[in-house]
Amino acid sequence: MATDITLTSSIRTNLLSLQNTASLIGRTQNRLSTGKNVNSSLDNAQAFFTAAGLSNRGTDLANLKNTMDQSISQLTSATKGIDSITKMVEQAKALATAAQSTTDTAQQTKLASQYNTLVTAINQLAYDASYGGKNLVNGTSASLVVTFDEFASHKLTISGVRLDASGLTMQTITAANWTDSATVESGIAQVDAGLKSLRAQASTFGSNNSVLQIRLDFTKNLVMTLEEGAAKLVNADINEESANLLALQTRQQLGITSLSLANQSEQSILKLF
């Protein structure tokens, strides 16, 4: 048994020193392999739990950042839809104005047919302006709720609107109706009202998009700051740890040499007998 073996003071001192050096080498190698000098609460409880708190919040915000990014895409899809619908409505107004400026019934009938084609195209475009299953321009039932952080009240709610032909009070017409100047004037007034609604909604969505983009950029920077803060608490200095490992390996070699000399000293005493 090891307890039956008696070691001299010099050998025991050298052995303890070697054991301590081996432990330090193991710790340094672990730091180099993980890149951290605090790998558990046993290393430094305060730094470990503070870093964990920062990392956890950074992860939560990163998930919200992804949601914000997708919300921007949804809002961008709606905005592009509004832009395209606006162009079609402006074209419809041009057709109505052309019908008003002519007395040729055949031409008026042809313009009315083109107008009806645009009304159908507007409905189709409004239906297609969706992203991720959410359409903000084809009805009021859809809404976009974007949460900014861990507080549920810190959010932006964007309500959907109806900007298809019906929502813009634009209906398909009977060709014969456009031979009446008063009817055409009424149609132009409705188109103008539709354009006003489209431009107002484009402004609203544009403002919301700016808010989301600013908040997204802020969240990206905040996540990076949190990750950097956590890293400062637990990450190891690789250059320093490499230098420490080299110094410990040198100390270990010197310890082995010292232990060998102590053994030689005892063997010399043994020869006297």
Q: What is the CATH number of the domain that holds 114?
A: 1.20.1330.10
Tell me the per-residue pLDDT of 26-60, one tens digit each, with 9 for 90 and over: 777 777 777 777 888 888 899 889 999 999 999 99
Work out the pLDDT band at 71, boundaries 50, 70, 90: very high
Q: Is the pLDDT of residue 124 over 90?
A: yes
In a domain, 176, yes or no: yes
Q: Write down the pLDDT at residue 6.
A: 60
CA distances from 123 to 84, 112, 162, 171 (A): 12, 17, 10, 10
Q: What pLDDT is attached to residue 147? A: 92
Per the structure, the count of domains in the chain is 1
Residue 123: which domain range?
Answer: 45-233
Close Cβ partners of 154 (under 8 Å, ≥ 6 residues apart): 147, 148
38 in a domain, yes or no?
no
User: For 113-126, what is the mean pLDDT?
Assistant: 92
In a domain, 14, yes or no: no
Q: Quick check: 161 and 168 in contact, CB under 8 A? A: no
pLDDT in tens, 140-152: 778 899 999 888 8
Looking at per-residue pLDDT, the higher value among 171 and 55 belongs to: 55
